[in-house]
Amino acid sequence: MQRERKPGPSVPETGAVPQSDAVDEIQHAWLRELPGVPVESIGVITRVWRTAKILGDERRRTLTRLGIDSATLDLLSTLRRAGPPYAMTPARLKDLCLVTAGAISQRVGRAEAAGAVRAVRSPGGRTLRVELTDAGHALIEGSVERLLRYEDDLIGHLSPAERDRLTELLRKLLDGLLERGHGDSPIGPPED
Amino acid sequence: MQRERKPGPSVPETGAVPQSDAVDEIQHAWLRELPGVPVESIGVITRVWRTAKILGDERRRTLTRLGIDSATLDLLSTLRRAGPPYAMTPARLKDLCLVTAGAISQRVGRAEAAGAVRAVRSPGGRTLRVELTDAGHALIEGSVERLLRYEDDLIGHLSPAERDRLTELLRKLLDGLLERGHGDSPIGPPED
DNA sequence: ACCTCCTTGTTTAGGCCTAAACAACGTCGG
DNA sequence: CCGACGTTGTTTAGGCCTAAACAAGGAGGT
């Protein structure tokens, strides 16, 4: 019983051996070319990667239409969802955004030039404080809402149960990677 | 030895319980700040992203030690696992590597300068043919083997059953994204 | 106070990528 | 035979990022 890729949802049973996709081919190719090396991780890692790439490309195009870029969205989102007073230091932003301090400096510089944030010296002139401006508020709220609705639709082909299961597995994978990799900065220090 | 945590405020009980992680917090934050917008996708998409980022950072550092970069690894891997004669056109490489034609031109240029590949004109001077050199062979084989062993270890905290389940869910997610997004180039043209 | 060490932020150099403009070559239909 | 087209590759401009060198400002021990 062979089937083609047809428009209608074919019968969803029979362990419908998911005909090998591009990633399976990569895995089989290495198994054939380099016998002996463990290729199992490819099934997970390469798929995570490609999925992230596609979602990223998709997001980039969507954001371009909305007049904002991925990096700025990340910065403004972090400030916005923190709730009032919608401000924090570059150091904290670095921990939450998962990028280097240099990247934060650049992001803030661009966002400031765009009028979305304002960088001010705290009393005494010590630590820096990056805060969302009214324009930044308007920009991020509209973008996030549209983006979330769009992305919710993007993964709409997964059933609620599948999404939950996937969420749990990814949570476990991520948690393990954080503990292992740099068991030093899992999230961030004080977390005040 | 280095400090584990700053002396003073005790750790905010990071139980081994799969309770709320950083991504859950982002999801809850948006739910609180922007009631009404669908936040479910965050559980999957943001986790895929962060997982990809960590795996990417990890891979980048590993490869730096091995003397090769991610982009070159991808290029040489694609040529190597294709099996003899370890050569193909830039157009085919573009489809398999999932990057733009411009990126392929640059990758080939760098790899050629490094002596890992050779770009030759097919008989008649028609299409271009990128082929792995002996040096390229040696480089990619050593790198792939070590990388795969390392990454297999990286996701070692997932049980075989969990990895399989995760693989299947990601396969489905990816498949749906490919059909939807650019229903144009799921894999590649002819596929001869 | 004084000196050392650490944390903050900025800056700079180098890398890789996408998008878009181009240059060349076949392919086809008239 | 010839012009419109689609492909193939390259080049260029612009963006964002990491790593690393720096510049300052505290926090503590002596």
Q: What is the DSSP string of A13-28?
A: -GGG-----HHHHHHH
Put simply, the answer to whether A155 touches B145 (Cβ < 8 Å) is: no
Is the pLDDT score of A185 beyond 60? no
What pLDDT does B181 receive?
Answer: 59
For residue B131, give every residue at least 6 positions away whose Cβ sits within 8 Å of its Cβ, in sequence order, or none.
Answer: B79, B85, B86, B87, B117, B118, B119, B120
Is the pLDDT score of A6 beyond 70? no
Could you give the dihedral angle defined by the CA atoms of residues B25, B29, B31 and B35, in that order, rounded to the nearest 10 degrees? 180
Put simply, the answer to whether B9 touches A190 (Cβ < 8 Å) is: yes
What pLDDT does B65 receive?
Answer: 84
Q: How far apart are CA B103 and CA B87, in angstroms?
A: 18
Which nucleotide has its C1' atom closest to residue A72's CA? D16
C-beta separation of B94 from B56 below 8 A = no
> How many CB contacts within 8 angstroms connect chain A with chain B?
209
Distance CA B159 to C1' D15 in A: 40
What pLDDT does B125 receive?
Answer: 62
What pLDDT does B44 receive?
Answer: 95
Please state the rounded mean pLDDT for residues A44-68. Answer: 90
> How many CB atoms within 10 Å of residue B126?
9
Share of chain A above pLDDT 90, in %: 61
Is the pLDDT score of A5 beyond 50? no
What is the pLDDT of chain B when averaged over all its residues?
83
Q: Does nucleic acid strand D have an atom less than 7 angstroms from the CB of B106?
A: yes
Please state the rounded mean pLDDT for residues A4-14. Answer: 43
Q: What is the pTM of this model?
A: 0.81
> How many CB atoms within 10 Å of residue A4?
6
The residue of chain B with its CA nearest to that of A100 is: B57
Is the pLDDT score of A118 beyond 60? yes
Q: How far apart are CA B93 and CA B80, in angstroms?
A: 12
For residue B83, give every residue at least 6 positions away whose Cβ sits within 8 Å of its Cβ, in sequence order, or none.
Answer: A29, A32, A33
Radius of gyration over alpha carbons of chain A, in Å?
22
Minimal Cα–Cα distance from A48 to chain B, Å?
6
What pLDDT does A85 receive?
Answer: 92
Q: How far apart are CA A4 and CA B39, in angstroms?
A: 35
Q: How far apart are CA B148 and CA A42, in angstroms?
A: 8
Q: How far apart are CA A145 and CA B39, in angstroms?
A: 9
Helices (H), chain B: 22-33, 40-66, 70-81, 90-97, 101-113, 134-154, 160-180
What is the pLDDT of chain A when averaged over all its residues?
84
Q: How far apart are CA B101 and CA B121, in angstroms?
A: 17
Q: How far apart are CA A187 and CA A175, in angstroms?
A: 11
In order, the DSSP letters of A33-100 are HSTTS--HHHHHHHHHHHHHHHHHHHHHHHHHHHT--HHHHHHHHHHHHT-TT-EE-HHHHHHHHTS-
Q: How far apart are CA A90 and CA A119, in angstroms?
A: 9
C-beta separation of B63 from B70 below 8 A = yes
Instruction: Tell me whether residue B123 is exposed, middle or buried, using C-beta atoms within 10 angstroms of its C-beta: 0 to 12, 13 to 18, 19 or more.
Output: exposed
